[in-house]
Amino acid sequence: MKIKNLTWDKAIYPRTAKSRQTITAYAEALAAGAKFPPIKVQRVFNYQDGQKATIILDGNHRCEAFREKGIQEIQAIEWKDQPLDFQENKTALLFESARSNISHGDRLTTRDKKQVARNIALSDPECHVREMDLAEKLGVSRQSINLWVSDIRARQRTSRDSTIIRLARLGWIQEKISDKVGLSRNRVSEIVGNANIGNIDTLLSQGHDMEYIARHFRMDLPLAWALKLHGKTDREKFKELGWGLRTWDQWYFNECDQRFGDDWPGRIPAQLIAHTLYYFTKPGDLVLDPMAGGAVVPDTCLLFERKCQAFDLAIHDRRPEIEYHYWEPGPETWPAAGKPDLIFMDPPYYTKKKKAYQEKASMENPSISSFSGKDYKGFFKDFFTLAHKNTKPTTTMAFLNADWRDFESTPAAEEKPDKAITIFDFHRLLSETGWKTIFRIECPLSTERLTGNQVRKMQDKRILGTIGRTLLIAKKI
């Protein structure tokens, strides 16, 4: 095997540094005609930036000695006879590399073993690898392992516990949470029952803010706020969050509240969702978010003690509550368990932010922002029909969207009706699929998103821009 094609990954290889003395001794032995046993390697895919690589598991000093003597190839055996997914097999690779280096050549130092133990613990956030197993593999006492990895395990358990509490408060059953985090249902139940809310008030009384408290408990900020506000009325929560409660059908929010939801294409204010929950649901109701994106709907449901089932075609580790689902353009299995009281749908506004959404999607499962106008409207007709069949008579549909026209280049008088997709189209589609719109709530966007130069060009060309955004509230008929 060509040495230049081999990769020394410091996170996998058990030695913290190369021994100059060992490399020199091996090089001198090579010059004297010594034969060395094959090194051990493993082919992997999904390595850095998704690339393939051949990782050295045992024999790095031999490789360096061969390289210094100008030898370009070295005998190698592969641990497994087929490539492994690097991201899924980090722990196994660490274990095998450590095992191979304990019994021959330079023995691993205590420092090396400590680093291996910590690397394995870091690669095992669900704490599947027991300290007892680490001690046996590395040939040290269990007490040593506990000393080396206790800080890592403490952080992981806290993060895991926060995930469990979040999912439980969003209405996940304990069996499903157990499957998600890899713990028994009894342990999940204990963690849910031991969520300590009183400590938050104690820290606040000492002058700490909510960001400090979230870091202190190693939980995300929305969960910290949810625990702090637990048991308060909806109106009390609005007040504590610093949100004014609108009593008319004009909900203008200039900025997103950065405390809730992730940075995401088309991100909407949590305040808008909170108003929808306030007027159209009650605590304990189930909310379905079919296109969850940056999770602002689950975060807001968490705050206002509503259950939430969230789905998206782009999922990520930071959002365990979002489950993968791709809504096919035609009839599709309904993924939600139970019938929601409210569906809050904030889909892509046709091709607006098309590029950003497509980066979150894939060639196999494209974003609906890449559909033609006909297919885009057809998608919603299919979805509204499917939702009507899979919900209860009292379910409310909250649908947020905006008029789409080619306003960036076309004067208002020259806009072609067949090129536009407007709120009237969505109203018609809802009516055709068994829904009756009962409220049209205006939630306008800020004009500050347009520069002065853009505004002047629009004025010169008589282009009529769009800052309108409308929330349609519909009931089943």
What is the pLDDT averaged over residues 435-452?
88
* CA proximity to 380, closest of 431, 313, 436: 431
Residues 102 and 120 in one domain: no
Residue 72 lies in a domain: yes
d(CA 33, CA 45): 36
470-476 vs 435-442, strand pairing mode: antiparallel
pLDDT at 156 over 70: no
Residue 459 lies in a domain: yes
Query: What is the domain extent for residue 157?
Result: 109-195
Sorted by sequence, the CB contacts under 8 Å of residue 427 that are 6+ apart come out as: 437, 472
Residues 78 and 119 in one domain: no
- Between the alpha carbon of residue 377 and those of residues 315, 422, 430, the distances in Å are 25, 10, 11
Average pLDDT score, the chain: 87
pLDDT digits (tens, 9 = 90+) for 66-108: 999 999 999 999 999 999 998 888 888 888 887 777 655 556 6
d(CA 383, CA 385): 5
- pLDDT score of 98: 79
- pLDDT score of 475: 98
d(CA 169, CA 283): 11
pLDDT at 182 over 80: no
Residues 346 and 433 in one domain: yes
Question: Can you say how many angstroms the Cα of residue 93 is from the centroid of all Cα atoms in its chain?
Answer: 25
Determine the Cα angle at 295 with ends 290 and 296, to 5°. Answer: 105
CATH number at residue 312: 3.40.50.150
pLDDT digits (tens, 9 = 90+) for 252-282: 998 899 999 998 888 899 999 999 999 999 9
Residues 241 and 301 in one domain: yes
Residues 97 and 169 in one domain: no
What is the pLDDT averaged over residues 274-291?
97
Residue 116: pLDDT band (50, 70, 90) is: confident
Range from 128-142, 201-215, 287-301, 451-465 carrying the lowest mean pLDDT: 128-142
d(CA 13, CA 23): 16
d(CA 275, CA 441): 11
* CA proximity to 112, closest of 209, 177, 248, 16: 16
What is the pLDDT averaged over residues 435-445?
95
Sorted by sequence, the CB contacts under 8 Å of residue 44 that are 6+ apart come out as: 52, 53, 54, 55, 83, 84, 85, 86, 89, 93
The amino acid at residue 159 is S
**What does the block give as tokens for 137?**
């593999």
pLDDT digits (tens, 9 = 90+) for 196-245: 666 788 888 889 999 988 888 878 899 999 999 999 999 999 999 999 99
Range from 124-138, 172-186, 448-462 carrying the lowest mean pLDDT: 124-138
What is the pLDDT averaged over residues 437-465?
88
d(CA 327, CA 316): 18
Sign of CA dihedral 194, 195, 201, 207: positive
What is the pLDDT averaged over residues 444-465?
85
* CA proximity to 223, closest of 277, 174, 269, 169: 169
Residue 300 lies in a domain: yes
- pLDDT score of 407: 56
Q: What is the 3-state secondary structure (H, E, C) of the chain?
A: CEHHHEECCCCCCCCCCCCHHHHHHHHHHHHCCCCCCCEEEEEEECCHHHCCEEEEEECHHHHHHHHHCCCCECCEEECCCCCEECCCCHHHHHHHHHHHHHCCCCCCCHHHHHHHHHHHHHCCCCCCCCHHHHHHHHCCCHHHHHHHHHHHHHHHHHHHHHHHHHHHHCCCCHHHHHHHHCCCHHHHHHHHHCCCCHHHHHHHHCCCCHHHHHHHCCCCHHHHHHHHCCCCCHHHHHHHHCCCCCCCCECCCCCCCCCCCCCCCCCCCHHHHHHHHHHHCCCCCEEEECCCCCCHHHHHHHHCCCEEEEEECCCCCCCCCEEECCCCCCCCCCCCCCCCCEEEECCCCCCCCHHHHHHHCCCCCCCHHHCCHHHHHHHHHHHHHHHHHCCCCCCEEEEEECCECCCCCCCHHHCCHHHCECHHHHHHHHHHCCEEEEEEEECCCCHHHCCHHHHHHHHHHCCCCCCCCEEEEEEEC
Residues 421 and 334 in one domain: yes
Residue 450: pLDDT band (50, 70, 90) is: confident
Domain final residue, candidates 80, 107, 134: 107
Residue 249 lies in a domain: yes
Residues 52 and 160 in one domain: no
- pLDDT score of 10: 78
Residues 441 and 300 in one domain: yes
* CA proximity to 401, closest of 425, 379, 418: 425
Domain final residue, candidates 107, 124, 153: 107
* CA proximity to 224, closest of 302, 316, 295, 305: 302
Residues 13 and 31 in one domain: yes
- pLDDT score of 379: 93
* Percent of the chain at pLDDT exceeding 90: 46
148: number of Cβ within 10 Å: 21
407: number of Cβ within 10 Å: 16
Domain final residue, candidates 58, 85, 107: 107
pLDDT at 148 over 60: yes
Question: Can you say how many angstroms the Cα of residue 279 is from the centroid of all Cα atoms in its chain?
Answer: 29
- pLDDT score of 402: 92
pLDDT digits (tens, 9 = 90+) for 391-408: 999 999 999 999 988 656
- pLDDT score of 121: 79
d(CA 79, CA 92): 11
Residue 217 lies in a domain: no
pLDDT digits (tens, 9 = 90+) for 14-42: 665 677 878 888 888 888 888 888 999 99
Residues 450 and 364 in one domain: yes
pLDDT digits (tens, 9 = 90+) for 338-377: 899 999 999 988 877 777 777 777 777 788 888 888 999 9
Residues 88 and 115 in one domain: no
Domain count, the chain: 3
Backbone dihedral angles phi then psi of residue 102, each to the nearest 5 degrees? -80, -35
